[in-house]
Amino acid sequence: MAKITRKPVPRKAAVPKKRAKAAVAKPKAPAKKSLKAVKPWTPAEIHEVFSRFRKANPEPKGELEHVNPFTLLVAVVLSAQATDAGVNKATRALFEVADTPQKMLDLGEESLREYIKTIGLYRTKARNVIALSAKVLSEFGGEVPRTRAEIESLPGAGRKTANVVLNMAFGEHTMAVDTHVFRVGNRTGLAPGKTPLDVELGLEKVIPAEFMLHAHHWLILHGRYTCLARKPRCEVCLINDLCRWPEKTV
Protein backbone atom coordinates (compact mmCIF):
# COMPACT_ATOMS: atom_id res chain seq x y z
CA MET A 1 0.00 0.00 0.00
CA ALA A 2 1.43 3.36 -0.98
CA LYS A 3 2.31 5.68 1.89
CA ILE A 4 0.29 8.90 1.89
CA THR A 5 2.38 11.90 2.67
CA ARG A 6 0.57 15.02 3.90
CA LYS A 7 2.08 18.34 3.05
CA PRO A 8 2.45 20.58 6.04
CA VAL A 9 -0.01 23.49 6.00
CA PRO A 10 1.96 26.69 5.96
CA ARG A 11 1.32 28.87 8.94
CA LYS A 12 -0.16 32.26 8.33
CA ALA A 13 2.21 35.04 8.97
CA ALA A 14 1.52 36.79 12.21
CA VAL A 15 -0.24 40.03 11.68
CA PRO A 16 1.54 42.73 13.63
CA LYS A 17 -0.64 44.34 16.22
CA LYS A 18 -1.71 47.87 15.51
CA ARG A 19 0.21 50.31 17.51
CA ALA A 20 -1.84 52.43 19.81
CA LYS A 21 -2.31 55.85 18.40
CA ALA A 22 -0.22 58.36 20.13
CA ALA A 23 -2.36 60.57 22.30
CA VAL A 24 -2.78 63.88 20.63
CA ALA A 25 -3.11 66.71 23.01
CA LYS A 26 -6.23 68.71 22.29
CA PRO A 27 -5.67 72.40 22.08
CA LYS A 28 -6.93 74.13 25.16
CA ALA A 29 -9.84 76.46 24.73
CA PRO A 30 -8.84 80.03 25.37
CA ALA A 31 -9.53 80.96 28.95
CA LYS A 32 -12.41 83.33 29.48
CA LYS A 33 -11.30 86.77 30.33
CA SER A 34 -11.71 87.37 34.02
CA LEU A 35 -13.70 90.46 34.90
CA LYS A 36 -11.13 91.20 37.56
CA ALA A 37 -8.54 91.55 34.82
CA VAL A 38 -10.66 94.08 32.96
CA LYS A 39 -9.75 97.72 33.32
CA PRO A 40 -11.45 98.97 36.51
CA TRP A 41 -14.14 101.60 36.32
CA THR A 42 -13.03 105.11 37.12
CA PRO A 43 -14.94 107.19 39.70
CA ALA A 44 -16.05 109.49 36.89
CA GLU A 45 -17.48 106.57 34.89
CA ILE A 46 -19.35 105.21 37.92
CA HIS A 47 -20.80 108.64 38.61
CA GLU A 48 -21.90 108.85 34.99
CA VAL A 49 -23.61 105.44 35.14
CA PHE A 50 -25.72 106.28 38.16
CA SER A 51 -26.43 109.78 36.86
CA ARG A 52 -27.97 108.14 33.80
CA PHE A 53 -30.01 105.75 35.94
CA ARG A 54 -31.25 108.68 38.05
CA LYS A 55 -32.16 110.76 35.02
CA ALA A 56 -34.14 107.86 33.51
CA ASN A 57 -35.89 106.93 36.77
CA PRO A 58 -35.48 109.54 39.52
CA GLU A 59 -37.58 107.73 42.16
CA PRO A 60 -37.36 103.96 41.58
CA LYS A 61 -39.66 101.81 43.66
CA GLY A 62 -39.42 98.23 44.79
CA GLU A 63 -41.96 95.99 43.08
CA LEU A 64 -43.05 94.11 46.22
CA GLU A 65 -46.37 95.54 47.40
CA HIS A 66 -46.60 96.41 51.11
CA VAL A 67 -48.32 98.83 53.46
CA ASN A 68 -45.84 99.12 56.34
CA PRO A 69 -42.42 97.80 57.46
CA PHE A 70 -43.95 94.56 58.78
CA THR A 71 -45.72 93.69 55.54
CA LEU A 72 -42.55 94.58 53.64
CA LEU A 73 -40.61 92.16 55.84
CA VAL A 74 -43.16 89.42 55.23
CA ALA A 75 -43.22 90.07 51.47
CA VAL A 76 -39.42 89.84 51.22
CA VAL A 77 -39.36 86.59 53.19
CA LEU A 78 -42.04 85.18 50.88
CA SER A 79 -40.13 86.32 47.77
CA ALA A 80 -37.25 83.86 48.21
CA GLN A 81 -37.16 81.66 45.09
CA ALA A 82 -40.34 83.33 43.85
CA THR A 83 -41.23 86.25 41.61
CA ASP A 84 -42.39 89.60 42.95
CA ALA A 85 -45.50 89.33 40.79
CA GLY A 86 -46.35 85.95 42.29
CA VAL A 87 -45.85 87.24 45.83
CA ASN A 88 -47.98 90.32 45.18
CA LYS A 89 -50.82 88.21 43.85
CA ALA A 90 -50.89 86.23 47.10
CA THR A 91 -50.30 89.05 49.57
CA ARG A 92 -52.90 91.52 48.36
CA ALA A 93 -55.64 89.55 50.08
CA LEU A 94 -53.37 88.49 52.96
CA PHE A 95 -52.39 91.99 53.99
CA GLU A 96 -56.03 93.08 54.04
CA VAL A 97 -56.58 90.76 57.01
CA ALA A 98 -53.08 90.53 58.55
CA ASP A 99 -50.91 93.64 58.35
CA THR A 100 -49.42 93.48 61.86
CA PRO A 101 -47.56 90.76 63.78
CA GLN A 102 -50.51 90.22 66.11
CA LYS A 103 -53.00 89.87 63.29
CA MET A 104 -50.67 87.41 61.57
CA LEU A 105 -50.48 85.30 64.73
CA ASP A 106 -54.25 85.46 65.11
CA LEU A 107 -54.62 84.28 61.52
CA GLY A 108 -52.54 81.19 62.30
CA GLU A 109 -50.24 79.02 60.22
CA GLU A 110 -52.92 76.86 58.64
CA SER A 111 -54.96 79.81 57.36
CA LEU A 112 -51.82 81.61 56.25
CA ARG A 113 -50.90 78.63 54.08
CA GLU A 114 -54.19 79.02 52.21
CA TYR A 115 -53.31 82.61 51.29
CA ILE A 116 -49.79 81.84 50.08
CA LYS A 117 -50.15 78.32 48.65
CA THR A 118 -49.43 79.59 45.12
CA ILE A 119 -45.92 80.61 46.23
CA GLY A 120 -43.06 78.11 46.15
CA LEU A 121 -42.06 76.54 49.50
CA TYR A 122 -45.25 77.97 51.01
CA ARG A 123 -45.38 75.54 53.94
CA THR A 124 -41.92 76.46 55.20
CA LYS A 125 -42.57 80.14 54.53
CA ALA A 126 -45.84 80.07 56.46
CA ARG A 127 -44.07 78.52 59.42
CA ASN A 128 -41.34 81.18 59.26
CA VAL A 129 -43.79 84.09 58.98
CA ILE A 130 -45.71 82.93 62.05
CA ALA A 131 -42.45 82.43 63.97
CA LEU A 132 -41.03 85.81 62.99
CA SER A 133 -44.31 87.50 63.92
CA ALA A 134 -44.10 85.95 67.38
CA LYS A 135 -40.48 87.07 67.77
CA VAL A 136 -41.21 90.62 66.62
CA LEU A 137 -43.92 90.79 69.29
CA SER A 138 -41.97 89.16 72.11
CA GLU A 139 -38.53 90.69 71.54
CA PHE A 140 -39.10 93.93 69.64
CA GLY A 141 -42.38 95.25 71.01
CA GLY A 142 -44.30 94.55 67.83
CA GLU A 143 -42.06 96.79 65.72
CA VAL A 144 -39.74 95.60 62.94
CA PRO A 145 -36.18 96.01 64.31
CA ARG A 146 -33.88 98.56 62.71
CA THR A 147 -30.51 96.83 62.67
CA ARG A 148 -29.24 94.23 60.25
CA ALA A 149 -28.27 91.78 62.98
CA GLU A 150 -31.71 91.94 64.61
CA ILE A 151 -33.57 91.46 61.33
CA GLU A 152 -31.30 88.56 60.40
CA SER A 153 -32.19 86.91 63.72
CA LEU A 154 -35.81 86.55 62.57
CA PRO A 155 -36.91 83.18 61.12
CA GLY A 156 -36.70 83.16 57.32
CA ALA A 157 -34.80 86.45 57.11
CA GLY A 158 -31.23 86.67 55.81
CA ARG A 159 -28.84 89.43 54.88
CA LYS A 160 -30.66 90.31 51.65
CA THR A 161 -33.98 90.56 53.51
CA ALA A 162 -32.39 92.81 56.12
CA ASN A 163 -30.86 95.07 53.47
CA VAL A 164 -34.16 95.45 51.60
CA VAL A 165 -36.10 96.30 54.77
CA LEU A 166 -33.46 98.71 56.05
CA ASN A 167 -33.35 100.49 52.71
CA MET A 168 -37.02 100.59 51.77
CA ALA A 169 -38.60 100.97 55.20
CA PHE A 170 -35.98 103.04 57.00
CA GLY A 171 -33.98 104.80 54.27
CA GLU A 172 -30.64 103.18 55.08
CA HIS A 173 -27.92 103.14 52.42
CA THR A 174 -27.80 99.36 52.05
CA MET A 175 -27.18 97.20 48.98
CA ALA A 176 -29.46 94.19 48.65
CA VAL A 177 -27.89 91.70 46.24
CA ASP A 178 -30.32 89.36 44.51
CA THR A 179 -29.64 87.36 41.34
CA HIS A 180 -30.12 90.47 39.18
CA VAL A 181 -27.70 92.69 41.12
CA PHE A 182 -25.20 89.83 41.34
CA ARG A 183 -25.31 89.39 37.55
CA VAL A 184 -25.03 93.11 36.78
CA GLY A 185 -22.20 93.62 39.26
CA ASN A 186 -20.19 90.82 37.67
CA ARG A 187 -21.12 91.23 34.01
CA THR A 188 -20.48 94.96 33.81
CA GLY A 189 -17.35 94.77 35.92
CA LEU A 190 -18.72 97.29 38.41
CA ALA A 191 -18.13 94.94 41.35
CA PRO A 192 -16.93 91.45 40.39
CA GLY A 193 -17.33 88.85 43.12
CA LYS A 194 -17.79 85.14 43.67
CA THR A 195 -20.49 85.59 46.31
CA PRO A 196 -23.37 88.02 46.87
CA LEU A 197 -21.48 89.45 49.85
CA ASP A 198 -18.44 90.14 47.66
CA VAL A 199 -20.61 92.02 45.18
CA GLU A 200 -22.47 93.86 47.95
CA LEU A 201 -19.30 95.13 49.58
CA GLY A 202 -17.76 95.96 46.21
CA LEU A 203 -20.74 98.06 45.15
CA GLU A 204 -20.90 99.85 48.48
CA LYS A 205 -17.23 100.73 48.06
CA VAL A 206 -17.51 102.29 44.59
CA ILE A 207 -21.01 103.84 44.43
CA PRO A 208 -21.06 107.50 45.51
CA ALA A 209 -23.16 108.21 48.61
CA GLU A 210 -25.51 110.50 46.67
CA PHE A 211 -26.79 107.47 44.74
CA MET A 212 -26.87 104.82 47.46
CA LEU A 213 -30.48 105.26 48.57
CA HIS A 214 -31.79 104.11 45.19
CA ALA A 215 -28.75 102.23 43.83
CA HIS A 216 -29.99 98.72 44.51
CA HIS A 217 -33.34 99.45 42.86
CA TRP A 218 -31.66 100.81 39.74
CA LEU A 219 -29.44 97.74 39.51
CA ILE A 220 -32.30 95.29 40.15
CA LEU A 221 -34.47 96.92 37.49
CA HIS A 222 -31.55 97.04 35.08
CA GLY A 223 -30.93 93.33 35.57
CA ARG A 224 -34.61 92.42 35.41
CA TYR A 225 -35.54 94.31 32.25
CA THR A 226 -32.33 95.09 30.32
CA CYS A 227 -29.27 93.09 31.40
CA LEU A 228 -31.13 89.79 31.12
CA ALA A 229 -29.50 86.51 32.08
CA ARG A 230 -29.75 84.68 28.75
CA LYS A 231 -30.10 87.43 26.19
CA PRO A 232 -29.02 90.85 27.42
CA ARG A 233 -30.64 93.75 25.59
CA CYS A 234 -27.38 95.56 24.94
CA GLU A 235 -28.91 97.58 22.10
CA VAL A 236 -31.17 99.50 24.52
CA CYS A 237 -28.82 99.55 27.52
CA LEU A 238 -28.25 102.98 29.04
CA ILE A 239 -24.65 102.17 29.89
CA ASN A 240 -23.57 99.99 26.95
CA ASP A 241 -20.72 102.37 26.04
CA LEU A 242 -19.23 102.03 29.52
CA CYS A 243 -19.99 98.38 30.28
CA ARG A 244 -16.89 96.16 30.51
CA TRP A 245 -18.61 92.92 29.43
CA PRO A 246 -16.43 91.45 26.64
CA GLU A 247 -19.43 89.76 24.96
CA LYS A 248 -21.71 92.77 24.68
CA THR A 249 -23.39 93.03 21.29
CA VAL A 250 -22.89 96.74 20.65
Catalytic positions, written as ranges: 160, 178
| Number of C-beta neighbours around residue 51 at 10 A | 13
Rounded CA-CA distance 43/48 in Å is: 9
CA atoms within 13 A on the CB side of 24: 3
From the list 175, 166, 211, the residue with the least C-alpha distance to 56 is 211
Coil, helix or strand at residue 214: helix
Contact 204, 176 (CB under 8 A): no
Q: What are phi and psi of 201, to 5 degrees?
A: -65, -35
CA 84 to chain centre: 13
Burial grade of 50 (CB within 10 A; 0-12, 13-18, 19 or more)? buried
